[in-house]
Structure 1
Amino acid sequence: MMRVLSTFSGISAASAAWKPLGFKFVGYCEPSAFPCHVLNKRVEATAPKYLPRGSDFNPRKYRTIVDGSVINFGDITQISDDDLRALGQVDVLEGGSPCQAFSISGLRRGLNDNRGNLALAFARLALRMREINGLRFIVWENVKGVLSDETNGFGCLLAALAGGEDPLVAPGKSWPNSGHVLAGATDDVDDVTVAWRVLDSQRFGLAQRRERVFLVASFDPALDAGSVLFEYDGQTWNPEAGDQTQKEDPGNRETGASGTRPTALIRGDSQASLSLDPDVAFCLTAHEAKEPTTVIHPKTVGTLCASGAGLARPAGQANELDFVVVHPRIVGTLQALKPKGSSGSDLDFTIVHTADGGGEYVCRRLMPIECERLQGFEEGWTDVPMGNKPATDGNRYKALGNSMSVPVMNYIGYRLLRAVTRVAEEERIAA
């Protein structure tokens, strides 16, 4: 059984993805009020033990969370060594530190932003857990913009995890979409491997373009992190996604240089093949009305953002994709499509009549239940009240936009579990 500490947990896509695989979550770290209520309802997490300073974290927002069987530490920067010792063995540290510092919406201030520095706090926690909890693996996620951050936050993170004294430097103007770092063993540090890769949610059966950097680090000298993220057998992407088969050369397993300075083996191709579950299929069809409505355009939406309005943006484009066009099967049920608490203005939905008299269409915003499907969650995962107040659409949109995609995390968890099982079997045979 793989024991996991989740950090920057949000609404915990990791739990939704990994619990069916048999992973056990021994703790969470999430300080924001609404995600804390979701964690309490869905994974039995406690109210946060530690809260950051600021009005956003007023203790009164958490007073209705009175039970829970799994600790939520809240602020990761306040976790003590005693807290870690109480967890016992922890195999995996998982988390996606705040991405705003590396995104356009956050002005890309990188390590000049306190939120950007939380990535390094994550690395420091990992090194402490390696000593206290016997930590073996790390899974970290962030926006693609971290690879071109001018403050080189990604190079600092790589060096911290690999035991380097100086930040690693990208081979060009930015880090490539995939790469592999090997740190040779010294008297103080065992072999460390770090791999990263940009993965797009639409390649995992979701109708959302969402490119994110996923990093896996291994403190286990018997298991190379690259074996989790990279596939070398030439299997294809989902053919319906439109990508051509590409193979990736596994390269040579070179040892690191002397001392703690790691050697980076960079792979510039992140389009290597994936093994996909053909049964995974999520769509935008809405069922809030008496009869379902079918999305006409677009078939694949842009990246869900952490916006209170639930906006989506096409990846790499400046224009916003705020609406979808649907064809209602029963025109009289349009009122049921309105988001909760909406004002009734024409911004909620617009009826469009085709010029040829072919029918009526509705232009409207994505609904929270659709955003849940677009991230691969069960329907209603975020429909959780805060005290005696029902969940607002704004809170649900923001939490879902901040989350990871469940099928992508499921893929990484499955690959990690398979690699661990393979190494254990090899060691058993060798013994």
Structure 2
Amino acid sequence: MKFFTLTPSEHLAVITNEQSYTYKQLIHAAGEFLLNSEQKELILLLCKNTFERLAAYVAALNNKHAVMLVANDLNSELLQSIVEQYKPKWIVGEAEFEGYEREGAVLRRVEFCDYTVHPDLAVLLSTSGTTGSQKFVRLSYNNIRTNAKSIIKYLSINDKELAVMNLPMSYSYGLSIVNSHLLAGSALMLTEESIMEKSFWTLVRERRATSLAGVPFTYQMLQRIGFMNMDLPHLKTLTQAGGRLNEKLVKVFGEYARENGKRFFVMYGQTEASPRMSYIPHDRVLEKNGSIGIAIPGGELSIDKETSELIYKGANVMMGYAQCLEDLAKDNEMSGVLHTGDTVTVDADGYFTITGRIKRFIKLFGLRINLDEVEKKLEIEIHTSIACTGNDDKLVVALESDEHAKKVKSSIERYYKLHHTAYKIKILEEIPRLTNGKIDYMKLKEMCI
């Protein structure tokens, strides 16, 4: 049975800046990829938000091969090392590699390579936050199918939807938009344009897009560009994931949605969960502002009594990690249980709130400091981009302007009673971010410590 049982109809499937495509055309384009092999293979897909790359993804899954998704503009040295380590049978992209020859729309490995790919393995995604690693999350067909169906259920996705897809396909949030909307028989608006460009909003308006997804940085930018004043009557659903959105902005967008007959969903997940684990129903966003909500349909959330770590159980939990070619043969190592690394509390209504990351702690003069909590407290006070890093010698608070430095200084001393030698405020031109919009804490630490 094919993963995407698409009906070859004239129903709209994809819109790009240049053209519209039906489901019939998408099925035909996927069939153009000749992925014939006597054994299950690995395909490396260099992702771009184009019709052709989407068709390649559909072809990979429907031919029961495993597909590794990486950004098209991935560092060339890292990309080369991934090819050498994992030896994919086919590569979809413009780049050329030694030992591969072009065959139609793909590069094919010339020499035979004897390796085993587990029958259930469908997708390999880079672990969240890793831009310089060969470590991938192993997701099964059942992982991504069950998560997509849960998303379809709580977002009420039907075949009348047209979702803006401007997040990278190689990012789990972006891929979940693709999976959920294709499985629901709805349409995708593929674009790599920025929300800062007028042409992006012209396309959204003219094509009557119904939903828009964004990471916290997206919503910071939407507020700056005057999104609330735009005339977008067909845009009915806004979703946010990919990190914590500060409570002030959750309230701003929650109130905007309520006053304009739209739905705003705050969601939480990790690539390791295909990726969604929880959400706040749109009608409770203002009431439960600051929380990550409740478990998605079919999922279960609990708290480790000793560590306060959030534990998730569900059929969408990954098979495990892969760090080399041999790992592709591994069976399911997780048994549907994911230790998230996030510490949480839960209220009387069963809504969970993240208090920090187990590894995002430093210890100053015997005082255990939660860096996520520091960020959250300071954001509430100064309402601007802020990022915290540090070690057991010093807390570092990074800002993009010295405008709020004095207020940050007084807040740190008030909350944590730290001597001025125990922390520093670092002014950066720009807080470093990953391609998915999250703060790049590894790079931040290199810049500040």
TM-score norm. by structure 2 comes to: 0.27
Relative contact order, higher structure (CA 8 A, sep 6+)? 1
TM-score norm. by structure 1 comes to: 0.28
- The structure with the greater share of residues assigned to strand is 2
